[in-house]
Amino acid sequence: MQRYEYKVVPAPQKGTKAKGVKTAEGRFAATIEQVLNQLGQDGWEYQRAELLPSEERAGLTGSTVNWRNVLVFRRAIEAVEVAAPVLEGTPDETPVAQPVPGPEIVTAPEPISEEVKDPPLTLKDAKIEFRHSDKS
């Protein structure tokens, strides 16, 4: 599987002077071309330009959102192949689980104690009187 690394650089905001270029648009295009060619020489492939929000401080406690233009590049990384672990032996030598013999007839165990009796602290025989008082 091919893997990539990415590089994001701020796009130039204004053009620089260039020989033979007279218009502002031409200077700007020449500046972009220089950035693309410089990174291309280092193996970076231009992908796209993005306009992204950037939240920045404004004053002591405030913040504002500025929109920034960035250029996105990528280049391939050499894939590191991980070798599969080698298991010793062959599949024919792999032990297979065998069933464990058990008793042929299974019976339920005998009860441990006698019949369950009421616990010693019950209110079964106690007479409970409810008193109702009216405070009208």
Q: Does residue 122 sit in helix, strand or coil?
A: coil
- pLDDT digit string (tens) for 42-84? 999 999 999 999 999 988 889 999 999 999 999 999 876 666 6
Residue 131 confidence (pLDDT):
65
Residues 6+ apart with CB under 8 A from 67: 51, 52, 53, 54
Q: For residue 116, is pLDDT > 70? A: no
DSSP line for 48-107? EEEEEEEEEEETTTEEEEEEEEEEEEEEEE---PPPPPPPSS-GGGS----PPP--SS--
Q: For residue 34, is pLDDT > 70? A: yes
Residue 49 confidence (pLDDT):
94
Residue 43 confidence (pLDDT):
93
Q: Which of 52, 8, 67, 20 is nearest to 29 (CA)?
A: 20
DSSP secondary-structure letter at 112?
Answer: S
Residue 74 confidence (pLDDT):
96
Residue 129 confidence (pLDDT):
63
Do the Cβ atoms of 30 and 18 come closer than 8 Å?
Answer: yes
Q: Which of 30, 32, 34 is nearest to 12 (CA)?
A: 32
Residue 20 confidence (pLDDT):
84
From residue 82, alpha-carbon distances to 1, 25, 45, 85, 90 in Å are 12, 50, 27, 9, 22
pLDDT tier at 5, thresholds 50, 70, 90: very high
Residue 8 confidence (pLDDT):
95
Residue 71 confidence (pLDDT):
95
Residue 53 confidence (pLDDT):
93
